[in-house]
Amino acid sequence: GQDSFYISSQLVREVASLGGDVSELVPPNVFSALREKFPSKNGG
């Protein structure tokens, strides 16, 4: 089955703001919103 775990939204925002990949940690709609809020620093 799918592993589930708790991760703080603050941590997700921190990782996203630093350009980290959080696509495996959040639902697709949340990932899209984070990418808009924190555009990738490497142009991707």
Check the CA dihedral 36-33-18-25 and report its sign. negative
| CB proximity list for 15: less than 8 A, separation 6 or greater | 21, 22, 25
Tokens 């809020």, located at residue: 37
**Domain of 20, in residue numbers:** 1-44
How many CB atoms lie under 10 A from the CB of residue 16? 22
How many separate domains does the chain show?
A: 1
Model confidence, pTM: 0.66
pLDDT in tens, 1-44: 566 677 888 999 999 999 999 999 899 999 999 999 988 766 55
Looking up tokens 């495996």, which residue turns up? 24
